[in-house]
Structure 1
């Protein structure tokens, strides 16, 4: 048997529920339709989930960029504790800073600054429209990447939900199929004159 014939034979075995077959039962056709519907739901649902969640995340990141602005501030008081290590591995400490808000008034707040910052050093901080300190918003490139990751995660979650649902349905159909086969063998045994144990 050639490799091509072997591939054709495997494809034929996979599609047996769709072909006319004396051993095929209605439950086999139902299972074939369930599997087809699951593939359609997994693909369409995954794409829809990715689109909706990715778009929502992107809108949130855009809104954060629009609402936050960089402002010049001055370190007022350094914290003597709370040393941390940031993502770039430079030491950061919390300190009290002062800046002038959009309302023209001076505001103070606590934020992370580089460990070497001393009182009087100028720094850049981010504030929202209410003149509250906030985190720096993601850059458009990072926001796009994060939105894509959120969308892919949602698509994967939708696929897992469909997969688990199909597995449960197939398990139920498999049990039903075994009962039907048992009943059919019992009737055949009686027809052939055997005794059912």
Structure 2
């Protein structure tokens, strides 16, 4: 029996790892049914494999922590980059979508009508990328001249072309303006010095 115990205990590591042959496995199991000492050794070995000592457990947990920290840093970095990309996209879109005056040589005036206290200007743009925003500004010099500033966007849902029609009814500050006294209308661009005469009485 003692000789068998020595053989069985030599085979137990392979038995636990599932590496021994079927014959050896059967031999160990038959022997352990009748040998309390070998059965106890087997149980002890299984416990040590399943539950390593505290030092080993702490070492394994500590070894995993750097990778966990690296994973968290990576997730935070990617999330931050995505948020930054969304913010930058929104800023660029807002910038492109801001209505702004353009160079006067980019605008083609087709018709101007002044009647019944209303100014109508029909025009187009020489560049298809400049879409009329529907916004404009009219300034009066207080004597005889109006300055028209149509505003365009590079991105627009309102108008997919550069064509525009301005129907301006004079009211508010210009309510008392006598259109009969207007002799000139200038188109004004983004620079105050960029003006072009588009109508003269």
Q: Please report the TM-score for the alignment, with normalisation by the length of structure 1.
A: 0.33
Structure with a larger share of its residues in strand: 2
Structure with a larger share of its residues in helix: 1
Higher relative contact order (CA 8 A, sep 6+): 1
Q: Please report the TM-score for the alignment, with normalisation by the length of structure 2.
A: 0.32
Larger-Rg structure: 2
